[in-house]
Amino acid sequence: MEARPSEWVGDEHIADVQPHSQEYCAISSLLSRGLPALRINRIERVQKPEQWEKYIDRVKVMNKYHGGANETLLLHGTGEHPPHDVLKHGDGLDPRFSTGKGFYGRGTYLAESPAYPIAGRYVHHTKGKLQLVVVRAALGVSQNLGFRVDDDTREMTMPGQQPNNRDRHYDSVRAGPHRPYLSGPGSGSIGGDDPDSSIIHVVYQNNQMYPAYIVTFDMGGGDLGDGRSHKRAKNMSGNGGGVGGGAGRRGGG
């Protein structure tokens, strides 16, 4: 695996991704799944060599000893905290700064569907625009908790032990689909009866994540893609639903 991604340019820690490039189109496609009204305004690439090296070192270990790193791109909302401020921290998205009040304890919560953080309280609002972080995550062997939520899951600080290998813990938690604005399970189907629900992944070590992009966008006429306005979804988010314990406090939640 490359020591430095080939698309990185210059020495800046934050660099604009050129519109119409293959990289830009790939990230745009990730954000637009099931949300036809979403309009990308800007994609910024995060270029932090030290964080990248820590992540790649962890990926190599997982590939060699854990049966595979299982890398994927997921979405994280930083809530009231601007993504640029969160990512100034030397350790990037660090679960140690999590509030610890989420369904699955003190970890960093990552969504598969962009509709989940957008419809909930997790997306960052700035000057009429919205912002999310695209995270490259090494999920490894995931502990699938489905819809389970109880006192034990809320106290988690790491995944549970693997039943067939008591000397090794799972690498991450997979749960849901959950809904961002109502308690209880969702369908998790894009364009289905509950299009805002999503599978959620929780990572408990910051070196298993690399915050790769900051995306700034808007929702066109304010529609989330299912006829529900973003303002209404935001208002609904205060009723106790959602998985994380307050997204974006230096990357936790």
Strand partners, 252: 249
CA atoms within 13 A on the CB side of 245: 21
* Mean pLDDT (whole number) for 208-220: 95
Cβ–Cβ < 8 Å for 188, 197 = yes
Taking the C-alpha atoms of residue 250 and residue 98, their distance in angstroms, rounded to an integer, is 7
E-state strands within the chain = 14-16, 39-46, 71-76, 108-111, 124-126, 129-138, 142-146, 161-162, 165-169, 172-178, 198-203, 209-218
* Mean pLDDT (whole number) for 199-213: 96
Taking the C-alpha atoms of residue 39 and residue 36, their distance in angstroms, rounded to an integer, is 8
pLDDT per residue as tens digits for the range 28-81: 999 988 788 999 999 999 999 999 999 999 999 999 998 899 999 999 999 999
226-232: list long-range contacts, CB under 8 Å, 24+ apart.
Answer: 226/115, 226/191, 226/195, 226/196, 228/119, 230/118, 230/119, 230/130
- Report helix, strand or coil for 177: strand
Largest CA distance in the chain: 53
- The token duo for 151 is 């006192």
Q: What is the mean pLDDT of the chain?
A: 83
Q: Is the pLDDT of residue 223 over 90?
A: no
pTM of the model: 0.86
pLDDT per residue as tens digits for the range 79-132: 999 999 999 887 788 787 666 678 999 999 999 999 999 988 899 999 999 999
Tell me how far apart the terminal alpha carbons of the chain are, to the nearest angstrom.
Answer: 30
- Per-residue pLDDT at 242: 54
Going by C-alpha positions, the residue among 200, 198, 199, 195 that lies closest to residue 225 is 195
Least-confidence region, from 21-25, 121-125, 152-156, 227-231:
227-231
- Per-residue pLDDT at 99: 63
Taking the C-alpha atoms of residue 223 and residue 193, their distance in angstroms, rounded to an integer, is 16
Taking the C-alpha atoms of residue 40 and residue 35, their distance in angstroms, rounded to an integer, is 11
